[in-house]
Amino acid sequence: MFSLTIILFIVFLALSFDFINGFHDTANAIATSVSTKALSPRAAIMIAASLNFIGALSGTAVATTIGKSIVAPENVTALVLITALIGAIFWNLFTWYYGIPSSSSHALIGGLIGGVIAEFGISHVIWNGFFKILTGLILAPIVGLVAGSVVMTLLFWIFRKASPAKINNNFRKLQVLSASMASFAHGSNDAQKSMGIITIMLVGGGLLSEFQVPFWVIVSCALAMAAGTAIGGWRIIRTMGGKIFRIEPINGFAADFTSSLVIYAASLLGAPVSTTHVVSSSIMGVGAAKRMRGVRWNIARQILIAWLITIPSAALAAILIYNLLSLFL
C-alpha cells in the first residue's frame, strides 16, 4: 500500500504532466488555423481547450494500453512512477522552451521505461508490449504523411477549376471544423496516457483489484489537459504553423482533417500515438503534394531528430532522477 501523501503526489505529477502536455501540444490542433487566420489565437485556444476536454472523456482504451503493456501494474513502485513522470515532464519542458515539437507520448513511455530499468532492471520491461506500442508510434506518422498527400491531391483535383480566392475563403471557414476535429482527437488520445499512469498507481498501491480507470481519474485528466491547452504553446505553433511550408486554408484543412482521422482511429484501437508526429507528418504530406520543393525539409529533419531521441532521452532523465532520489529516500 502507498501512503496517502505518495498517492496525492503521484496524482499531482500525473495531472501536471497532462497540463504540460496540453500547452505543449496545443499547437497540434490549432497551428494551421491560426497561421491562415481562419481563427484568432483566442478563439482557437477556446475551441482546442473545449474539444480536448470532450475528447478526453470519450474512452479509456489508450489508458489500458499504457497501464498494462510496458510494465505489470502489480510490479510498479511509487519511485518508478515518480521518476517516470518527472523525466517526462523535464523533457516536455525542455523541448517546449526551445520550440521543438517533440512527442509527449514518447517522453512518457521513455520515462516509464527508464524508471522500471532503474528500479528492477531491463528484464522487467514488457518488451513485447513496448515494441507493439513503438510500432504504432512509427506507423501513425507514416500513415499521416501518405494520407495527407492523398487528401491534398484529391482536393486539388476536385477544385482544380475553382478560383484560388474562392477556395481559400471557403476552406478558411471549414478550418474551424477541422481544428475542432483535431482537438477532439488530440484529447481522445493524449489525456488517456496520464489516466493509465494514475490507474497503474492505484493497482500497484492495492487501491484497485483490477485495472479499470475510475471516473474521477478520467475527469481529472480531462480537466488538466483542457487547462493546459488554454494556456497555449506559441513557440511550437510558430514551427508547426509556418516553418514547415507556407500553409493556405485548403492545406490547413487537409492536414487537420487527415491527422484527426488517424489519431482518433488510433484512440479507438487503444494505440497511444504521438499527436505531434501525426500532425507534423500530415503537414509534410500536404506540403509535398502541393510542391515538394516548397517543404522546408531542414525543419522536418530537425523534428525527426527530436522524435528519434525523445524516448532514450526521457528514459535517461528518469534513470538519473531515480538515482538522485535514491540518495535521499
C-alpha cell at 81: 512512477
Contact status, residue 42 vs residue 248, Cβ threshold 8 Å: no
User: Residue 72: CB partners within 8 Å, gap ≥ 6?
Assistant: 126
What pLDDT score does 274 carry? 84
Q: How far is CA 111 from CA 118, 198, 316, in A?
A: 11, 14, 8
What pLDDT score does 280 carry? 81
Closest residue by Cα to residue 20 from 146, 171, 193, 272: 193
User: Residue 160: CB partners within 8 Å, gap ≥ 6?
Assistant: none
C-alpha cell at 280: 507534423
pTM of the model: 0.88
The residue count of the chain comes to 329
Closest residue by Cα to residue 164 from 251, 241, 257, 244: 251
Q: How far is CA 289 from CA 154, 155, 244, 251, 283, in A?
A: 10, 10, 13, 10, 10
Amino acid 68 reads K
What pLDDT score does 24 carry? 74
What pLDDT score does 241 carry? 46
- Between the two ends of the chain, the Cα-to-Cα distance in Å is 17
Sign, CA torsion 48/50/53/58: negative
Contacts 24+ apart (CB under 8 A), 10-13: 10/78, 10/81, 10/82, 10/85, 10/197, 10/198, 10/201, 11/198, 11/201, 11/220, 13/81, 13/82, 13/85, 13/86, 13/89
What pLDDT score does 218 carry? 95
Closest residue by Cα to residue 109 from 31, 175, 21: 21
What pLDDT score does 152 carry? 93
The residue ranges of every structural domain in the chain are 4-326
Which residues, given as ranges, of the chain have pLDDT below 70? 1, 26-27, 99, 101, 232-246, 292-300, 302-303, 329
